[in-house]
Each structure stands twice: as C-alpha cells, then as structure tokens.
Structure 1
Amino acid sequence: MADTTDYRLSREVGGGARGSGLRLGIPGYLVGPAVFFADLCLLILASVASAVGYHRIMLQEVGDLTTFMGLACAVSFYLTIFLTYRGNYSVRRLMQPVLQCREVTMAWIAVFLMLVTLAFLLKVGPNLSRGATIAFFLTGWSALVGWRALLSAQLHQARAMRVIAPRQVVVVSDRRVEEARTYLQDLAFHDYDVARFLVLPASDDFDEIGRELIDAAGPEHRIDSYFLLMDWGRPDRIGRLAEILRAVPLSVRLFPDPKVSRLLGRHELSVGGVWATEIQRAPLSFEERLAKRTLDIVVSAALLILASPLMLASALLIKLGSRGPVFFTQARTGFSGVPFRIFKFRTLTTMDDGPTVKQVSRNDDRLTRVGRWLRRTSIDELPQLINILRGEMSLVGPRPHAAAHTDYYGQLIANYAYRHHVKPGLTGWAQVNGFRGETTLSQMKARVDHDLWYIDNWSLWLDVKILLKTCVVLLISPAY
C-alpha cells in the first residue's frame, strides 16, 4: 500500500503560519489581471490630473483634455503590453518591490521615448502641451512606482494570511519525506501548498496509487498540478506514472534527479533553488480558457436567439408526433470526467440512460418519424446550446459520450481519458473529419486520435475553423 501523507506544508517543513490548512481565498491567477486593469485606470487618472493641474496653474483654464486621454490610453496600452511580455504580472514578481521599480522605470522610459518619436514623425506635437506631457511623465512614473511598492507589501501580507489561495499540489516521490525536504521547502516558499505527499511502492504495481492520484484530482480538492520526484535511473517507472496521469487534466512536472540535474540545460519552471521540467502541459491556460469561454457565450447566445423559432416548431412537432417528453436528457462525461446532464430533442421512443446504452444506427427502429428528420438535420442537437451557456460544454471539443460508453471504451482504448482534458463540444475535429454517429471500435480509436490532436493543437482560430467547417459538413453530408 502506498504511503500517503495529507501534508500541511508549514508544520512539516517550517512554513510558519501557512499551515492553517485554509483552502479558501482569491486564486493567484486573478491577481495579475486585476493589477493589469488597475495600472490602466491609474495611468488614465495620472494623465488627466497632470493635464488639469498644469493648465490650471499655468493657464488658469482646463482646456481640451481629449488629447491627453488619448495619450494616457496609448501609454497604458504599450506599457502593460511591455510589462506583460516581461512577466511582471505574476504574483511572485509583483512581490519584489526592487524588481518592480526597475522594470516599471525601464518600461516607462522606453514607452515614452517611442511615443515621443511617433508624435514627432506624425507631426502631432502641436496638439500636446510640453509642460503637461513632462508633468504626466513624472506623475505617472511616481504613481506606478508607489503603487507597486504598496502592492508588494499588501501581497506579502495577503499571502501570509492566505487571502491569496496558494496553489494546491500533489508530490509523488520514490523517497521519504525527509529526503525531499529541500524540494518541499522551495515549493512552500514559492506559494505551493503540498496537499498530499505520496510515496511510491517499491514494486511496480501502481494500480492502487494510480487510483489515489486520479481521485486527488477531483474538483473538490482543487489540485493545481502534480510534481514527480523520482529516480531518473528508472525511466520505466516514470513512464508508467506519466501514463497513469494522462487521465488527469492537470499539469505534471518532473523534478530533476539530483544525480543528473547539473548536466541538464534549459528548464521550464523555476522553483526557488531547484527547478522542474514540464512533461505534460495543462491543456489551456487561464487566458486561453477565457478566450474560449467568451467565444462560447457570444456565439451560443446568438444561435439560441436566432434558432428559437425553429426550436419551438421542433418541440411542437415532437409533442404532436409521439408520446413522451420534448427533451431527452442523459448522463454524459464532461471535463475532467465530471458527469453532467446533456439536453437534446427526443428522437427515439426510448429514454436509455443507465449501465447499458445502445448506439443509434441509421435504420434504428426506435427512431420516431419526427426524430428521424431531426437527426438528419442535426436540429436535435440545438438544446445543447443551453449546456454551453451553463458552462458544461463548449462549442468545439470532443463529443461527450454516455457514461456507459465512457466506461466501456476507457478500458479498450489507450489515452481515452485524455479527451476529458477540455470541455466536451457541440462539434469537434473528429466530427468534421467524418467520424460522426454510430462507430465501431476502430472508428472510435480514430475519433479519439482526432480528439487528442485537437487538444494538443488548440487555438481560437482552430475553433473558428471547425465551426465554419461544421456548417459545410451539415449541408453536404447530413447525419442520420
């Protein structure tokens, strides 16, 4: 049996007050965007205040502030882009006041020189008061440096009080906790909270610990990532564990073996005095999830409004055509394996939802007359727009399978669970490449391969491309 430790990091490795075990707080990934927008607001206020103050003192009038509003927006835009590119909106860097002062000063001077040069080349100088511009240069820089110094102190206090929720991680090791103390201390210092420390068994039987690792990734535990601390002389064990963790939609990082770390070059993630190389990337970053979710909400809401007359007519035809409810709901497997209820227009005379679910075939005798038409035109899928607005599905992603089919194919197809690393979709890369409807085992393997390719190569443009291609596929190749 694996040695499993529910690990309160501060009490075990000297993290002080961090060991209260509190799991609530503001997620760390929200701090950067909040500071980003605070910078924008601060610079606009500094620009307006500089212009008003200068004109009041020197000219006894306020004058036209439109030009200075434009200047503030331009400076804010380029400055925040520069700081973002340099990684200065991460919590760790925001907590270093000397670094922030240096980075802000360098960015501020670079942006101002660039904009002054553009103003000269475009001959917009007469519209700008030199005195007010200089006042904004000094006022904006002072406000930013002062704000960052104050923010750094507040972030230190917030982290100590755990107002900012530390990232919960699981450490899997083939050595005891005492031997991993250096790694754990560095994780603690950089705001990682080791929720569990699991020691691998001496044998190669990972079945039990594999179940524990997958259970630890449940939404109730709020785990951010996994760290592996293992002997690199046993790549078979690392590979076996990495294969098990492919069923988990989280980042998996491998610490270097002390015997070989000095021989290694570039790395992915610096964690204090040690570093870890990333062997599995979390499918989508926060910014990517935000962009994808925005696309989902905008497009699905518009489609729901436009298709509402067609959906009402379809509901009426279903009600008049056969006995039973208008909607068919079924347990489907969603993101990270979490089940949800999918909405579809009822097309069958049965309502299969249990341990055995028969796939619908082209000449299925369970199809109603209205249902056959609804499936051929794919109108029966339109209620899933509600699932998308609820956040259970996305416009594009692997098609969600019935829970019974997930259990069945998960035992037969390698990496099947990896398709749950993103939200299921109304359409997907597999569907626009011909893998729709009833499938054999070989066809299902091909569908899974397409789903995994989509996850590994995701981009917002790819989603748009799939949506456009779906429209073409529906016109030239109707379903059944």
Structure 2
Amino acid sequence: MDSISVRNRSHKGIIQSNVNSFSTFYRIIDISLLIASYLLLVSLFEMQVEQLDILTELAIYITVYQLVAESFDIYRSWRAASLFLMMKYVSLACGGSALSLITASFFLPQWINFEHTFFVSWMGASFVLLLGWRLLLREMLFYCRKSGLNSRTAIIIGANQLGYSLANQLLANDQLGIQLQGVFDDRDESRLAHEFRNQVTGTVADALIKAKNNEVDYIYIAMPMSAEKRIMEILNLCSDTTATVFIIPNFFIYNLLNARWQNIGSIQTLSVFDTPFQGASELLKRLEDIVLASGILAVISIPMLVIAVAVKLTSKGPIIFKQRRYGLDGKPITVYKFRSMSVQENGSKVTQVTKNDPRVTPLGAFLRRTSLDELPQFINVLQGRMSVVGPRPHAVAHNEQYRKLIEGYMLRHKVRPGITGLAQVNGFRGETETINKMVQRVEYDLDYIHRWSVWLDIQIVLATVFKGVVNKNAY
C-alpha cells in the first residue's frame, strides 16, 4: 500500500495524495525524443515524406504510447520500484505503439507507407532513447542520494511490526536518500513486543521536538486504524511543524483488490475492492480484446463452420448452446458455446459435467476436451460481453451456490469474464468436485485481477496455446 502524504495546509489536517510534480516534464521528454528520433532518421535515410504522413505516423505512435504509459503508470515516481519493472513497462509501451502503427498501415496505406528498414530503425532508436534517459536519470539520482545529496531525514511514530518493517525498508534502500532518525512510541517498553524493546528512540513528544526544530523532513505514522483518536491528536501536533507527514495505515488486514484513492469534493476515499480497468487501462484492454478476437476469428472461421455442421449432423438440438452467466459487475450475460450435451441446463439448478457423463455426446466429449466448444465465445468478446483473458464465467446457479461458501467469490466479477484465464493455465479447469478446488480457482482469478497487465495477458494466451487447449480435466 502506497503511503499517503499529509501536507500541513491548515489546522483541519486535510489529507491529499502525494503527486509527482515532474510527470508532465517526463511526458514532454518522451514526446520530444520520439519526434526527434523520427525526424533524424528521415534525414539520415534521405526519405521523401509528406507532411501529412509525418503527422499521421507520429500522432498514432505517440497517442498509443501515452495511453499504454498511463495504463502502466510509467510517469509515477520510480524511487523504490525495480529496474526490471520499469524496463518491462517501457518495452510494452513501445511494443504496443509499434503494433498499432503496423495495424494502421494496413487501413491507411495512403498516409502510412514507410520502409521496413526505416521502421525497424525508428522502433529501435525510440526504445533505446526512452529507456536510456530513464536509466541515466535513475543512476544519477541514486548516486546523488547515496552521496548525501538530495537526501531527506525521517522518523517513524509507532514501534510495531508495521513501523519496523518500514524502518528496515528505509535502511535497506539507501538509494531512496531517506535517512532514518529513529522510531518513536509513547508506550512503556513492557507493552511492546519483545523484539522491539530497547529499540525505541524516544516518545512522540521527542519526535515532535525534532520536527519543530526543523531536524526532520518526513514523519511516518505507522499506527493501527483502531488508534484513530491518537492519530488525530498526533496530526494536530504535527500541524505546528513544517515536516511532510505520511500515514501508513495497517490495511494489510484486508484483501485489497486494486485499491485506489479518490476524491469526492474535498473528501478523499479509498476504494477497497476495485477494478484495474479504468481510463486508459480499460481502453487498452478493450483494444487488446478486439485485435485478438478479430484475428483469431479470421483464422478459425472455417473450422467453426465444420464443427457447426458436425454438431448438427451427429445429435438433435441447436448448434449453439446459449447459457446465462454472470458478466462484468455480476450482470447476467448470454455466453455462446457449441452444444456438446444432449441437455441444455440453464435454470436454477445446473449439474456440473463429470467424467464419462452420459449427457455429453461423443462429438461433445471431443469438443470439450480440446476446448473447441468454446470457440463461439470470441463472438462474445467482440460484443463486449467477455474478454479473451479473464476469470472463466460460471453458470448463474453455480455463482449463487459458491458465493455463499467462498469469501470474496463475487470479486472475480470486477472484470469481464474470459475465454481463458490464470486459473485455467495453472490446471484449474473443468469439474470442481471439491470446494477446495473452487477456492483455489477463485484465488487465481483474484490474483489475476490484482496484478493485471498486457504482458500477463500475453503470457496466459501463450500458455493456453501450448498447454491449456487440451486438458484432461475437461469432460
């Protein structure tokens, strides 16, 4: 959980999010490098390019890059983030922009018609420049902070597990440039956990004296939410200092799902259970679904026609089985599948398919085992009811059953259901004859929602292709 900055604006103790004031500057650098590298390579390749072509190509690339960058929050502070994570997000932003420009070249050939050598050179140069300046700035800042420049002093109020975890992180990451001055607590040492005794620097009053003497830049309050009254008292006392105050709440007692701070007027709220798909992330996810579903449907259209004929000829009933399931936000949707059974259960009671189930037709058994029965769901994706990757939708009857038995079950509906998902590529597909299997499936679903990224979707799609299409658990 990111800490929340408390700026001493007035006696009311108004809480605000700590905003990176350099984000606009970083965006300008990125856009400038993309434009400069493009124009430089045009000159080096001695290309004759129309002004409209230049504007179109740059507009598409820069727009998509900014959208992807926003979805990955590239313009946040990277002080404590890993180098690998930063490189991955910049790579994905460049890759997504390049893919969009290639796709656009097929639809706008009169405006986008660059040579392959030029295109590869520009993609490579832009990636090196966008990543290179970040690495250079990162190393410069780290060097300055380790040398004592651009450093800040900090104290922690709260001699508890949370407080000492924060202290260990500050001490282990000297590149942050935050020099810890001690941990302070009013409680007698006899009331502290054994491992925290003899480690308290002083009382809260001692901490405030240091702050009033301008010896402290940051004050971290690491206290449980149950101590709300005491926290407010400390905040009021901190308002008489010029230190920046951070509250580190013990929200770890909750299974937070994409928690984020939001403003309602002048009041700030925390959304505890939220979706990762908002703003640019939602647009990126939808674009990903449309591109993947359109491409896959173009490839599988003839096989789908063959399967449709086979279903019709081998058993009585409709070709497509339509079943009500829960979609985004738990709203009912209609999901398509090739009919694989002699019955069409879609009511308040739906019996899961078991091994050697007599209701499954001979062709249906093959379709289910190879996942071919689910091919029509790519149409659901284009309709916006489903995603290519996401938690698998269950029958409404099963949802109503498991939501009463599994804590957090309905949180999997904070995103669109998917044709494949993290649970499926990890072996949790098909029959869930025990409650424990469903619990594990839900855990994978929530893990997917918690750490969603385009790269994770790509990994799941590839894993589905290579190991998840044919499954022994699909009856």
Q: Which TM class, normalised by the smaller chain length?
A: 0.3 to 0.5
What's the TM-score, normalizing by structure 1?
Answer: 0.47
